[in-house]
Amino acid sequence: MEHLPSAETAEAAESHYFTQNPPPKNLKSNVTLAREFIDRHAEQGRRLVLVTSGGTTVPLETQTVRYIDNFSAGTRGATSAEYFLQEGYAVIFLHRQFSLLPYSRHYSHNTRSFLDFMKEENGRVVVDEQHQEEMLRVLRQYSVAKKENRLLILSFVTITEYLWELREVAKLMRPLGHKAMFYLAAAVSDFFVPQDRMVEHKIQSSEEFSQNTNRNGKTPAARTEGRSLIIDLEPVPKFLKQLVDGWAPEGMIVSFKLETDPSMLVKKAQYSLEKYAHHLVIGNLLMTRKWEVVFVSALEGEKWIRVPRNRRSRSVSGVEAWIGRAEAGKAENTVQPKAE
Ligand code: PMT
């Protein structure tokens, strides 16, 4: 069993991580965008949610050719963002570059090209009849969010970029207190290569050409030995602790727990809830995540939400609408989940 890190250890781990792993180049401009967005919506008294989405990568080289990835297409995050927008939230969508985006997800990353939704009519491009109704619905929702400037899209690729952005945006949201929500659907790496143990150039497949030390004389975390690739990763500190205790202590925090072994899911979700003492853990299994999730909260214990498998696209709506109701009712602790 892992031990709960003390506040000092968690703070020391945070400080060490951010000192050793430099910020992304666009952090400053992203912080400026986020600050303007947050201030504008705070002034209007709007509830704000930071939705994280997609998988973080762990680069093995500074000039990255190879990396380790975490599974996530961004479906959960992009779909949830749409439902939060529908519930009137302003949404900061912090997503893995090129993963699914709210609204456009209906027409991207598909086996069909977006051009398959179109046809030519009298020399003009129009939407095919059979897609009119659905596209009009999506377009209307998108137009409202856009007109009201309620969606800010930020991106990350690596675990370090993700953590820098999460920390900076969370701190900007801190003054919003309980009007700020954190919905952490991104798939976050547990292990990584620290900057000072990363090789500059592409790892060679043969030991003859491989770099056995890097610029500061340290043994690289990823290297070839004989004909094998050795990868010796270090743990990423659990930043959920810092988010709950330091970055946004009054915000509503929803984390996700992904497992593949059904016997572990609820146990691990409960463990996470006890360990970090936040509001809600949504557990899902890799194989069934589209049609069932388990909500684990101090308030209501364990609740499963299931939808029929052939209504996959609606499954997420049930979950995200629940979250909307949870947020609305959390001050009074009167939230009742409604399974579809
Ligand atoms: O995008 P889809 O294809 O629809 O898939 C959605 C999903 C399965 C990725 C999503 O529903 C999901 O489960 N996301 C969380 C995945 C994850 O990181 O699970 P975890 O059990 O490894 O981590 C649990 C929590 O700890 C997460 O909220 C994470 O933000 C947090 N964490 C993780 C690592 C770390 N170093 N620090 C953290 O705080």
Provide the CA 65 distance to its chain's centre, in angstroms.
23
For the chain, the distance separating the N- and C-terminal CA atoms, rounded to the nearest angstrom, is 36
Which helix (H) or strand (E) segment is 125 a member of? strand 124-127
Cα 215 to ligand 1 centre (Å) = 33
DSSP secondary structure, 215-268, as one string = TTSPPPSEEEETTEEEE--EEPP-HHHHIIIII-TTSEEEEEEEES-HHHHHHH
- pLDDT for res 206: 75
- For ligand 1, say whether the CB of 285 is within 6 Å of any of its atoms: no
- For ligand 1, say whether the CB of 255 is within 6 Å of any of its atoms: yes
- For ligand 1, say whether the CB of 240 is within 6 Å of any of its atoms: yes
- For ligand 1, say whether the CB of 100 is within 6 Å of any of its atoms: no
- pLDDT for res 212: 67
- For ligand 1, say whether the CB of 238 is within 6 Å of any of its atoms: yes
Cα–Cα dist 182/176, whole Å: 12
Q: What tokens appear for 176 in the block?
A: 């919003």
- pLDDT for res 1: 40
Helices of type H across the chain: 7-20, 27-43, 75-86, 132-147, 159-173, 239-242, 262-276, 312-329
The angle formed by the CA atoms of residues 73, 137 and 282, to the nearest 5 degrees, is: 40
Cα–Cα dist 161/155, whole Å: 9
- pLDDT for res 183: 98
Beta bridge partners of 57: 69, 158
| Residue in 269, 247, 196, 229 with CA at minimum distance from that of residue 19 | 196
Residues 6+ apart with CB under 8 A from 292: 284, 285, 304, 305, 306, 307, 315
CB atoms closer than 10 angstroms to residue 96? 26
- pLDDT for res 333: 31
Question: Token match 């953590």: residue?
Answer: 163
β-pairing, 280-285 vs 292-297, is: antiparallel
pLDDT digits (tens, 9 = 90+) for 236-272: 999 999 999 999 999 999 999 999 999 999 999 999 9
Cα 187 to ligand 1 centre (Å) = 4
Cα–Cα dist 32/41, whole Å: 14
- pLDDT for res 209: 74
Q: What tokens appear for 202 in the block?
A: 């592409």
The angle formed by the CA atoms of residues 156, 54 and 118, to the nearest 5 degrees, is: 100
- pLDDT for res 42: 97
- pLDDT for res 258: 98
Phi first, then psi, for residue 217 (nearest 5°) are 80, 5
- pLDDT for res 196: 92
| Residue in 244, 262, 266 with CA at minimum distance from that of residue 253 | 244
One-letter amino acid for residue 269 of the chain? A
Mean pLDDT in consecutive groups of 10 residues from the start of the chain, 340 residues: 60 92 97 98 97 98 96 96 97 98 92 91 96 96 98 98 98 96 98 94 81 75 90 95 95 97 98 96 97 94 89 48 51 31
pLDDT digits (tens, 9 = 90+) for 86-128: 999 999 999 999 999 999 999 988 788 899 999 999 999 999 9
Q: Which of 163, 166, 183, 188 to mutate to test the pocket of ligand 1 (most atoms within 8 A of CB)?
A: 188
Which helix (H) or strand (E) segment is 96 a member of? strand 90-96
CB-count burial class (<10 Å; 0-12, 13-18, 19+) for 241 = buried
One-letter amino acid for residue 165 of the chain? E
Q: Are 100 and 108 in contact (CB under 8 A)?
A: yes
- pLDDT for res 335: 30
